[in-house]
Structure formats: C-alpha cells, structure tokens
Chain A
Amino acid sequence: MAVIDVNGLTYTYPGSLSPALKDVSFQVEAGQLVAVVGANGSGKSTLCLALAGLIPALFQGQLQGTATVCGMETHLHSPGQFAGRVGLVLQNPGSQLSGMRYTVYEEVAFGLENLGVLRTEMPTRIEQALQQVQLIELRDRSPYTLSGGQQQRLALASVLALKPSVLLLDEPTAMLDPQGSQEIFEVVQRLAQAGTTVLVAEHQLEWIARYADRVIALAQGELILNGVPGDVLTSEHLPETGIGWLRYTQAAALGRSRGMWLVGQALPTTLEQAAEGFKRALSGRESEDADSD
C-alpha cells in the first residue's frame, strides 16, 4: 500500500489566478527516498505543504483531487492530526525554532509535549532524535547560538522525535554552506536506509543522482516526469523547464555532437558514469584510428 497517494491534486492559493498544482498524481511506497525537482515557482513547496496536511487547512484556497498520506486524506484532517505521522522540515533554519525553549534538549521536547507523550518516555525519544542528527553533545546549548547547519539539524531532530513514518523536506540545504548541506544529506540517507519514507524537494542534483530511488519533476504546477534518477535527470525537459542538467550530463550531450561521447551510450548523472563514458569514447576513437592506419 502506498504511503503517499496523490490523485489529481489541484490547488490554487486564495487570491491567485492560476493553480500552484495542476492535476498531480503519483505514489510513494514505504521506505522510498523520492526527490522532487522543479524550477522556482513550479509547486515543490506547495506539494510539501499539501502532503504535510497544512494545505488546505491553514491556507484556505481551492483544492481538488486528493492527497492521502499514511491513510489520511489531507483535506479531511487537521494539521494536528498529521503531526507525529508526517514530519516537515523547511528552508530557513532559524524560523523553525519554537522561540520558546532555551536549550536544544527542551526544543526537541516541545513537540513531544504538544502531543501528550508521557514524561517518562521523553528522555529516550529526545536522546534518540539528537543522536540521529548528531547533536547530542550540544544538548544544553541555546538554539540561537547554533550555526545554520546545526539549527537545521535541530529542526530535523524536533520532528524525528515524533517518530513520523513520512519525512518531508522542502529545500533543506538551500540556506546552508557545503558542510551544513552534507550534514543534512547524511542524516537523510541514514533515515532512508533505516526505512523511513522520505520526500525531499531539492536543487542539488548531484546528491539526488546518487541517493534518490525516484525523482519527480514539476513544471508550473504539473508533474512532467516520474522515474529513476538516471532517466529523469537526463530528460530534455529539465533544461527546458529551468531545472537544468548536471554538468556531467551537459558535457556528455555536447560531447555527443563532437564525437566525444558514443551516441548509443546513455547520458551520465554521476562522476563515475561520465568518466567511464568519456574514456570509452576515447578508446573507441583510438582503436578506430588504429584500424584506419
């Protein structure tokens, strides 16, 4: 049974003339790591908010079609009912802190308190969550003294403590430096490997190529591609819709027209594939030259 089941989802923000999502349909099975790519304004954030049950509940607007997450249809349940089943991490590290807790430890406790978790269970869950994001040594620090990457990991821990079965991330590394991005990606990889269903909207194609099970591409609210990274990331629709290709892919495509990349060879999405392909084309040419001598 699909953990996320989106069917003909169409949503228009109040006061907006055109829909932010148009007839989007896809499914995500348990344990998958799905990446969502799309140019700015393509609907990635709207999709994340809809899957977290925040749209339409907090935004009003017009919703058609359905989004069912963990068996609950988003328009039939309040956000409070999704908390604890679905976790959401947003772009800005600082604005996800509650602003009501003075230590990292208590910040993670906040969600547990809201959901009425027994006091006796809290320490274990908090510590587990902090271990997962490797912030356990900073448990007594004030959240406002942490770096952007650390705050983002704290936001993640705060959500993980609620033990969600689905984790949504909306461009979690957009405001982070490479080290911070790496830290977040590593946690997400571990979670996915451990069986959490993850849906992450991202621009970092290199990471997506390596770690995503599936990639969904959005353009102007419509779902235009849904498949494995190797297929989606090499599709011509990506440059057309402003998402762009990895440089490896660009180099190979350009190389094709100059005889540097074999026409029959699939376009690469990783460093290894690219290197392999260019070497092969080169040795192919060398042997051709040798033959013609």
Chain B
Amino acid sequence: MVLIFGGPGSWLSAILPGLLALLILWRAGLAWRVLQVILRLLMPLTVALFLVHGFFNPANQTILLKLGPLALGQEGLDFAAMIVMRLAATLAASLLMIVSTHPAHLVQALAEAGLPNALAYLLGSPLLLLPQIAARVQSIQAAQQARGLETQGNLLQRARALFPLAAPLVFSALLDVEERSLALEVRGFSSPKPRTSLNELVDTPVQQTARWGMVFLAGLWLAAGLWWRVYGSH
C-alpha cells in the first residue's frame, strides 16, 4: 500500500498545490467526490467570508457596488477569495491523505516514526469507530423521543433537545473508553517490549525519493515565497 505523506508545507500561492492534489485525486478516480465534499464544507463559509470582507474590510478602496450605506469593495473580495483558495487547497490535500491512507497503516507508520502508541491510536481510531458512534446517536435519539422529547420542529425545541441528546453520548463514550482501555491493557497496549507488526509497511525507494523530493520542493517553495515577500513588488 502506498503511503502518501502530504507535504507539511505552507501554501503560498494557494492555487497550485490545490490543483496538484486534485490532479492526483483525479488519477485515483476520486476527484469528483472530494470536490463535492470541499464544496459542501466551504460553501457557507465562502458566502460569509465574501460578505464580511466585501463590505467591511478596511483595505477596501475600489468600490464595485453600492447598497445604501454598504459598499462592496474589490480589495475585500480579493482577500476573501485568497482565504477561500487557501482553505480549499488545504482541504484537498488533507482529504487526499485521508482517502489514500488506510488508517491502521497510518497509525502504524506514525508509531514506527516514533510517535507514542497512545497518540497514534487517538489519531487513527475515530475513523473506524465512526459507524459505532453514529449508531449510538440513533439509539439515544430513539430513547429520548420515547420519553416525549420532540427533536424535530422549531429552533427552540431543537435547542432544548441538544443536551438530552449530547450528554448520554458523552457519558456512554466515556464508559466505552474506560472499558476499552482495560481491554487494550490486557492485550499489552502499554507493554514495554518493542513492537512488531503483522504487515510490513514497505518503504520503497520510490516512496522515499518522493517523500524527500516533496520536502525539498516545499523548502524551495518556501524560500521563493520569502523572497517574493521581502523583495517582490505587490
């Protein structure tokens, strides 16, 4: 299984890395689904950002539109666009990593790289436990509805329903964690002996080269960005 470590660089010109990630996803046939997720996640935020910065950004000078006392400024829109681009790119890269990496292998790689077992578990396990959590949410909702709690309806009703729905989730999750940690201990979770693994995570020369290559490129990129910031014109 190919392990892809998304390069932890900072995205300067936001568009290029985002497009790169999408390109890789496209080759894997996942681009459309990921795009949908990104769009759905970012849409409300995008609208809000454009509105806020469009109208209220202090750098606004070029007026595009006037709506009574409010004025839509170009600079603000540009700024908002930049933020959205960066977010989208980061999201694309993150999703690329999540989608292409088997969580268990990610956990294993992290553990082998030296991350403490407990931390690696914290990062990797939620993905597998998600369906269990979803099922529990349903059970809790059913139990509270059966005691007369209205969970649909107006905003006030829904707000009132939040606590009786959330509290048991937290409580049962805590109980679950307690019992799970006992079970894990019994299976040597905190054993002092060095760990072995069932599957070999093959670190091929290709992957290694790719990884170092990416780190190198990211470094170059950063340097270029710095240069541009310090010396370049706007």
Contacts and interface: CB of A to CB of B under 8 A. Distances in A.
Interface string A63-105: 0000000000000001111111011101010111111111000
Interface string A118-134: 11001000000000000
Interface stretch (A10-18, A155-163, A230-238): A155-163
Interface string A203-226: 000000000000000000000000
Contacts of A52: 186
Nearest to B124: A100
A194 interface: no
Contacts of B191: 80-81, 83, 114-116
A79 B179 contact: no
Nearest to A119: B196
A116 B193 contact: yes
A144 B131 contact: yes
A92 to B, nearest CB: 6
B196 A144 contact: no
A125 to B, nearest CB: 11
A54 B107 CA distance: 25
A158 B187 contact: yes
Nearest to A101: B104
A117 interface: yes
Contacts of B187: 83, 98, 110-111, 114, 158-159, 162
B182 A102 contact: no
A176 interface: no
B68 interface: no
Interface of A: 49, 52, 54, 58, 78-84, 86-88, 90, 92, 94-102, 106, 109-119, 122, 144, 155, 158-159, 162
B183 interface: yes
A100 B104 contact: yes
B185 A54 contact: yes
B79 interface: no
Given A86-B186, A106-B199, 16 more contacts: A79-B185, A79-B190, A80-B185, A80-B189, A90-B183, A94-B132, A98-B125, A99-B128, A111-B188, A114-B187, A114-B189, A114-B193, A115-B193, A116-B191, A119-B196, A119-B197
B89 to A, nearest CB: 30
Interface in B190-220: 190-200
Contact of A88 (B182, B196, B199): B182
Contact of B198 (A90, A112, A155): A112
Contacts of A84: 188
B104 A102 contact: yes
Nearest to A80: B191
B5 interface: no
Most buried by B among A78, A80, A110: A80
A114 B180 CA distance: 15
Contacts of B11: none
Contacts of A90: 179, 182-183
B184 interface: yes
Contacts of A87: 186
A54 B193 CA distance: 18
Contact of A83 (B128, B179, B185): B185
B121 interface: yes
Interface string B81-106: 00000000000000000000011100
Contacts of A79: 185-186, 190
B92 to A, nearest CB: 25
A81 B187 CA distance: 10
A49 B195 CA distance: 25
Contact of B128 (A92, A100, A109, A115): A100
B101 to A, nearest CB: 13
Contacts of A115: 188, 191, 193
The 5 nearest A-B residue pairs measured at CB: A114-B188, A111-B187, A83-B188, A80-B191, A96-B183
B42 to A, nearest CB: 30
A230 to B, nearest CB: 33
Contact of A113 (B180, B192, B196): B196
Contacts of A106: 104, 198-199
B129 interface: yes
B93 to A, nearest CB: 24
Nearest to A158: B187
A122 B200 CA distance: 13
